[in-house]
């Protein structure tokens, strides 16, 4: 791996230093690339076949999708409700978390210190953590409630952020890349699963407007992260 000795990785990384991305000398093996691509295609085909063979078709009447000013106004009015204002910040932050991992963590931590070719393998642990924490949080909600699970996610989130601020990435400590990515995935998975469910509980009568506000704030947080890079 080639690194510029003047580069600072981690929280002190400067995105103006375009030459501060480590590049592994070996690159990705061609056979491995074909293997991963083949597995992805096969799994996608199996998924499509399972849906086609075992899922009963829905007998529904399709209605034309039209822009509704009424729904737009209802969404804007819903964003002014007290309950919505109380959780709108965390909805915004869900988007920021995704943007941070996608844009900053992969570049400032993994790419800079360990090499851009390792972004994929580290992100696998991020995805696995998301996939496992989301259903697990749903299972635990039955026993401890939704609020403790959301609080736990924020405790983990604060801990991860403090660690990333203090940590100087070192390619000789590879397990820390996987661990930090997995912790980011745990936070994201819990919020992805539990925050929409929380919206469904709070806004049973105005679900369309409430979820419209939720996704609006979430994607605004995502866009804001990229715009402020």
Mean of the pLDDT values across residues 14-29?
58
Residue 2's pLDDT band, with cuts at 50, 70 and 90, is very low
For position 95, what pLDDT does the model report? 92
- Is the predicted pLDDT of residue 150 greater than 60, yes or no? yes
Give 74-90 pLDDT, tens digit per residue: 777 878 888 888 888 89
Whether 16 shows a pLDDT value over 70: the answer reads: no
Distance CA 169, CA 113 (A): 6
| pLDDT score recorded for residue 131 | 92
Supply the pLDDT for residue 21. 59
Q: What is the mean pLDDT of the chain?
A: 84
Torsion of CA 152, 158, 160, 165, to 10 degrees: 180
Return the percentage of the chain with pLDDT > 90, whole number: 41
Range name among 111-115, 133-137, 153-157 with the lowest pLDDT average = 111-115
Give the residue, 86 or 5, on which the prediction is more confident.
Answer: 86
Residues above pLDDT 70, as percent of the chain = 86
Closest CA to 19 of 34, 3, 37: 3
160 pLDDT tier (thresholds 50, 70, 90) = very high
Name the 3-class secondary structure at 2: strand
Nearest Cα residue to 157 out of 90, 228, 86: 90
Q: Is the pLDDT of residue 56 over 50?
A: yes
């Amino acid at each position: 791996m080639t690194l510029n000795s003047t580069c600072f990785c981690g929280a002190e990384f400067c995105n103006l230093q375009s030459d501060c991305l480590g590049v592994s000398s070996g690159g990705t093996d061609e056979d491995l690339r074909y293997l991963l691509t083949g597995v992805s295609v096969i799994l996608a085909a199996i998924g499509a076949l399972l849906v086609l063979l075992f899922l009963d078709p829905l007998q529904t009447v399709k209605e034309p999708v039209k822009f509704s000013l009424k729904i737009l106004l209802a969404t804007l009015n819903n964003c002014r409700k007290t309950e919505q204002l109380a959780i709108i910040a965390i909805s915004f932050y869900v988007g920021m978390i995704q943007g941070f991992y996608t844009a900053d963590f992969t570049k400032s931590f993994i790419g800079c210190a360990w090499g851009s070719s390792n972004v994929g393998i580290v992100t696998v642990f991020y995805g696995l953590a998301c996939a496992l924490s989301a259903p697990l949080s749903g299972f635990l909600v039955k026993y401890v409630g939704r609020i403790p699970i959301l609080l736990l996610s924020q405790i983990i989130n604060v801990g991860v952020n403090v660690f990333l601020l203090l940590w100087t990435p070192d390619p000789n400590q590879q397990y820390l890349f996987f661990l930090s990515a997995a912790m980011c995935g745990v936070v994201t998975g819990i919020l992805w699963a539990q925050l929409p469910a929380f919206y469904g509980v709070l806004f049973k009568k105005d679900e369309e407007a409430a979820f419209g506000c939720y996704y609006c704030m979430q994607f605004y947080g995502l866009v804001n992260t990229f715009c402020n890079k």
